[in-house]
Amino acid sequence: MIESPKAVLPTELRDPLARAIAQVNTVVLGKRREIRLAFVCLLAGGHLLIEDLPGVGKTTLAHALAATLDLSFQRIQFTSDLLPSDIIGVSVYERERGEFKFHPGPLFAQLVLADEINRATPKTQSALLEAMQERQVTLADTTFPLDDPFWVLATQNPVEQEGVYTLPEAQLDRFSMMLRVGYPSQGEEVEMLQVRMNQTTIERRVSPSDVHVLREFIYSTVHVDHKILEYIVRLGRATRQPAEVGRDDLREMLQLGISPRSYQHLLALSRVTAFLHGRTWVQPGDVKEIFCDATRHRIARTVRAQAEAVDADTILQELLTAVPIP
């Protein structure tokens, strides 16, 4: 177990975390960057959205993270007939006791895998909003706190568009990151078959209480200069007013930029990135490293951008180049 933040050195905090990341890499092969970013998202206190095709390891990643971090785990398969009560829980009247008793749903876990989240109706999707933002659930006039840490890892298929409901902007903004896993290389696919044959055992490397300690340490120790704050704001404003950074041509590609609330996510993710690089201060490179992953789901492209097949990452990379580094 990790001691209190004031009693340990940064290296003593990083070592168990490094072992945890290394172990997940032995289960989900060929996705070192994506696994590292998943840990960044967790330590920043944010939720993760993974958008990719079936069978590329999204569910396996969630199971590996839960086992490595010793988090209580629940998987919710989102379907069109799923109701809010199916994930939150229900109050049932018990005649013997003469009162209602709350039976918690699968949302009451430390890591919740919301599989194919875009297949549920907007009403059911909105049931996650309070849980993701406030870390609590309200039923009638009673509020139930969720576990700490509470982490939603949601997946969606970008190809199938039948029977799906697009996630509303308000819910997308609750996700700190959106990742795309992608297919592994040929050699990694062969190695995957070998790993499955050997039945890799996953052991706990970091406990839930350690996650809390790491979060507190990073927040209180990693310094953020005022110029970094200005840089984050300039990047955010550039997605809304690209002409301010000399890219008026991108205005016809962007319908909606990122919100001021997303700055908080970007700042928290930058802090964790700096920590994983072994520093106690944030550099502009930390912001640039996670900028696209933290914002690609927060911008909306125009019809022209979609027609010309200009994806979000291309636009964001252009803005990164245009905004001067402090």
pLDDT at 93: 81
In a domain, 217, yes or no: no
pLDDT at 172: 86
Provide the domain limits for residue 80. Answer: 5-208
How do residues 47-96 score in pLDDT, each as one tens digit? 999 987 777 778 889 999 999 999 999 999 998 899 988 999 888 888 88
Which residues of the chain are under the pLDDT cut of 50? 1, 3-4, 7, 197
Are 170 and 296 within one domain?
A: no
Are 303 and 167 within one domain?
A: no
Are 229 and 129 within one domain?
A: no
pTM of the complete model? 0.90
Asked if 251 contacts 227 with a C-beta cutoff of 8 angstroms, the reply is no
CATH number, domain containing residue 100: 3.40.50.300
Q: According to the 3-state scheme, what is the secondary structure of the chain?
A: CCCCHHHCCHHHHHHHHHHHHHHHHHHCCCCHHHHHHHHHHHHCCCEEEEECCCCCCHHHHHHHHHHHHCCCEEEEECCCCCCHHHHHEEEEEECCCCEEEEEECCCCCCEEEEECHHHCCHHHHHHHHHHHHHCEEEECCEEEECCCCCEEEEEECCCCCCCCCCCCHHHHCCEEEEECCCCCCHHHHHHHHHHHHHCCCCCCCCCHHHHHHHHHHHHHHCECCHHHHHHHHHHHHHHHCHHHHCCHHHHHCEEECCCCHHHHHHHHHHHHHHHHCCCCECCHHHHHHHHHHHHCCCCEECHHHHHCCCCHHHHHHHHHHHCCCC
Are 30 and 140 within one domain?
A: yes
CATH number, domain containing residue 303: 1.10.8.80
pLDDT at 222: 93
pLDDT at 311: 92
pLDDT at 113: 94
pLDDT at 48: 96
Are 54 and 94 within one domain?
A: yes
Q: Which residue matches tokens 């699968």?
A: 106
In a domain, 216, yes or no: no
Structural domain ending residue among the three candidates 145, 179, 208: 208
- State how far the alpha carbon of 86 is from the alpha carbons of 71, 82, 150, in Å: 21, 6, 18
pLDDT at 10: 61
Are 49 and 10 within one domain?
A: yes
pLDDT at 163: 64
pLDDT at 133: 86
- Domains held by the chain: number: 2
How do residues 183-227 score in pLDDT, each as one tens digit? 777 887 787 777 664 556 788 899 999 999 999 999 999 999 999
In a domain, 213, yes or no: no
